[in-house]
């Protein structure tokens, strides 16, 4: 069986171009390092290095094997980190801000499940579509749609290919019809959301790479995405919603996608964190947990 330390020595020797230099890095004597490399070659039944008194270089087989050895060390290290993470007991208090629609209907239940797996961790959830200022407000993490503008935050993309969907209920479509092109939208009742401090009134679409922007103004406006979704399901108009927010409604038939031939605005979901959590095991564990949940939700 191959030894991990032998693989590590081989990779380091190839990188440094010297057995002696690699031995010093690993706190080994050159003699022991030479023995370890010969042991690796014997186990593989292949010469990996060409040695002389003045030079050291990889054989053709050694060059081909180097990438695999490097990947094996990396994967083993990741596996060790994962096992160690599982042994660590996450504790402390964490405040999260989540968007209203996807937060209420999915994230809050997932986060409760995460807390149950880590009983010493206390989670405080804030549900709002208002942008959380992680620098000024007592919030550690935030899940938000859109490219982050604050370069001081750690930004982890969770669903980078999420986008907006123009949608309405089957009942509304039966009563009022459906737009055939973006320019038709202004003649329908639209349901608008406040994004940040402004109403999302410029809806963008693309066809064959050409941008088509529509200025909309509706009688119903909310700063809560869940309210807009409920209005749409109730047949009160057309909404331009994040696909993640309405995925269950699209699958159940409660909402129908409109203008399917057009590309729509991107709405990537990010996990944002303050810098002090950059090396926190909580951030790593939570991001991996959410990624798994989101992949299942996106593809189920």
Task: Give tens-digit pLDDT for 256-289.
Answer: 999 999 999 999 999 988 777 777 888 888 989 9
Read off the pLDDT band of 86 (50, 70, 90). Answer: low
Given this model, what pLDDT does residue 85 score? Answer: 54
Query: CA triplet 211, 212, 214: central angle to 5 degrees?
Result: 140
Q: Encoding tokens for residue 242? A: 């994040």
3-state secondary structure the chain: CCCHHHHHHHHHHHHHCCHHHHHHHCCCCHHHHHHHHHHHHHHHCCCCEEECCCCEEECHHHHHHHHHHHHHHHHHHHHHHHHHHHHCCCCEEEEEEECHHHHHHHHHHHHHHHHHHCCCEEEEEEECCCCCCCCCCCCCEEEEECCCCCCCCEEEEEECCCEEEEEECHHHHHHHCCCCCHHHHHHCCEEEEEECCEECCEEEEEECCEEEEEECCCCEEECCHHHHHHHHHCCCCEEEEEHHHHHHHHHHCCCEECCCCCEECECCEEEEECHHHCCCHHHHHHHHHHHHHHHHHHHC
What percentage of residues in the chain have a pLDDT greater than 90? 53
Residue whose entry in the numeric block shows the structure tokens 């200025």: 215
Between 277 and 141, the higher pLDDT residue: 141
Given this model, what pLDDT does residue 137 score? Answer: 65
Which distant-in-sequence residues (6+ apart) come within 8 Å of 261 by Cβ? Answer: 207
Residue whose entry in the numeric block shows the structure tokens 């022991």: 32
pLDDT tens profile 219-248: 999 999 999 999 999 999 999 999 999 999
Residue whose entry in the numeric block shows the structure tokens 């094996």: 72
Strand pairing partners for 167? 239, 257
Read off the pLDDT band of 84 (50, 70, 90). Answer: low
φ, ψ of residue 222 to 5 degrees: the values are -140, 150
What percentage of residues in the chain have a pLDDT greater than 70? 94
Distances (CA, A) of 46 to 49, 50, 240, 297: 9, 11, 61, 47
Residue among 264, 44, 75, 79 at smallest CA distance from 166: 264
For all residues of the chain together, what is the average pLDDT? 89
């Amino acid at each position: 069986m191959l030894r991990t330390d032998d693989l590590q020595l081989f990779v380091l020797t190839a990188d440094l171009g010297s057995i002696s230099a690699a031995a010093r890095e690993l706190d080994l004597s050159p003699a022991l390092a030479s023995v370890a490399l010969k042991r690796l070659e014997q186990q593989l039944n292949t010469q990996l290095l060409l040695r002389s008194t003045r030079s050291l270089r990889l054989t053709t087989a050694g060059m081909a094997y180097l990438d695999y050895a490097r990947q094996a060390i990396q994967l083993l290290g990741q596996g060790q980190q994962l096992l160690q993470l599982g042994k660590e007991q996450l504790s402390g208090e964490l405040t999260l801000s989540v968007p209203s629609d996807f937060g209420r209907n999915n994230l809050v239940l997932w986060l409760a499940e995460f807390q149950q797996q880590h009983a010493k961790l206390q989670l405080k959830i804030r549900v709002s579509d208002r942008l959380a200022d992680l620098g000024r407000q007592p919030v550690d993490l935030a899940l938000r749609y859109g490219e982050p503008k604050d370069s001081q935050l750690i930004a982890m993309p969770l669903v980078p290919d999420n986008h907006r969907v123009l949608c309405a209920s089957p009942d509304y479509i039966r009563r009022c019809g459906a737009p055939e092109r973006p320019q038709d939208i202004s003649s329908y009742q639209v349901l608008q959301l406040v994004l940040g401090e402004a109403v999302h009134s410029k809806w963008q679409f693309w066809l064959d790479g050409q941008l088509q922007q529509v200025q909309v103004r509706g009688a119903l406006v909310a700063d809560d995405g869940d309210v807009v979704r409920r209005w749409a399901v109730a047949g009160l108009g057309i909404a331009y919603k994040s696909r993640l927010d309405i995925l269950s409604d699209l699958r159940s038939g409660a909402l129908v996608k409109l203008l399917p031939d057009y590309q729509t605005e991107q709405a990537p979901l990010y996990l944002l964190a303050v810098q002090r959590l950059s090396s926190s095991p909580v951030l790593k564990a939570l991001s991996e947990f959410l990624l798994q949940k989101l992949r299942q939700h996106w593809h189920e």
